[in-house]
Amino acid sequence: MRNTTTPDLSGRTMIVTGANAGIGKETAVGLARMGATVVMTARNPAKGAEALEEVRRRTGSRTVELGLLDLASLASVREFAQRFLSEHDRLDVLVNNAGLITDSRTETADGFEQMFGVNHLGHFLLTELLRDRLVASAPSRVVVVSSIAHRAAIGGLRFDDLQSERSFRSSLVYGRSKLANLLFTLELAEQLAPEGVTVNAVHPGSINSHFGGGGDTKVLGRLISKVGRYVLRSPEVGARASILLASSNLPKVTDSTGAYFPKGHRRPASRRARDVDAARRLWAMSERLVGSASSTCQDDGQVL
């Protein structure tokens, strides 16, 4: 018998990006245990399949699926959206979890700086392509995994150099990508409020996971491998904020939109993250960068 204090998510469909490891995988576990149909995404088929089997084994759920999604490729984002829309008639929760940090400046398949491209633009396009399905499934939710690192975005976003072509410092560029997550949350929440879709962001805390340890940031990866288990939170603990915002029926969640929840507690984000004009400017520039999502998604759920 299901614990009556635990939300029953049976019949609800949810996407968790970057669910092959770390916080994303633990988020998938938590939501699957509550009965949700969970579509886990991964860019690596082998790692994704391994994670899928683990989540199914730990939860006993057979309503967990794997979708291949590389947020560093807009073509992959469109392909994933097309598959999802053709296979699922509802989307109750979208958890934009995946992210990365790199030591040096690299580019996505579309020529964007990697952290800005993956952490922000890939999720921006994905959300826009799935927007109509979220609205049709309302009340529904978007959960954006940001970071306290957004406060390190000294000077805010560099709108004249969003791709960090003139200068690159890893921690600063990462912080700006996390600031972009919060500005995206702010503007999307404003747009979707009349449609019954809430949009909130989380900071999961400092987590002992594979993040930064997969070759993208060698120094950070070595540090985490040596001291992470002593000073950082586990992925299971880190996932609690995402699971809370995706599942809870508490008023602090259901009545919130455009809010920031560090470690599951609603708190003000930085002043720059609450800049409405910057949020609208970023939205307009993101639309231009990825192309018009509305022109690629048709009523029959097909992406052209």
For 279-291, letters b (16+ CB in 10 Å) and e give beebbeebeebbe
CA–CA separation, 41 and 258 (whole Å): 24
The residues assigned a catalytic role are 174
CA–CA separation, 163 and 13 (whole Å): 34
Half-sphere exposure of 197 (CA within 13 A, CB side): 26
Task: Please answer whether residues 31 and 59 qualify as being in contact, where contact means their C-beta atoms are separated by less than 8 angstroms.
Answer: no
User: How far from the centroid of its chain's Cα atoms is residue 210's Cα?
Assistant: 16
How many CB atoms are located within 10 Å of the residue 37 CB?
21
CA–CA separation, 265 and 205 (whole Å): 11
For residue 194, CA distances in Å to 200, 238, 249 come to 15, 31, 19
For residue 272, CA distances in Å to 10, 96, 132, 133, 153 come to 38, 21, 29, 31, 9
Closest CA to 9 of 93, 133, 95, 97: 93
Cis check for the bond before 139: say yes or no (omega within 30 of 0): yes
Q: In terms of DSSP H, where are the helices of 88-150?
A: 114-115, 123-136
Strands (E) located in the chain: 13-16, 37-42, 64-68, 93-96, 140-145, 197-203, 260-262
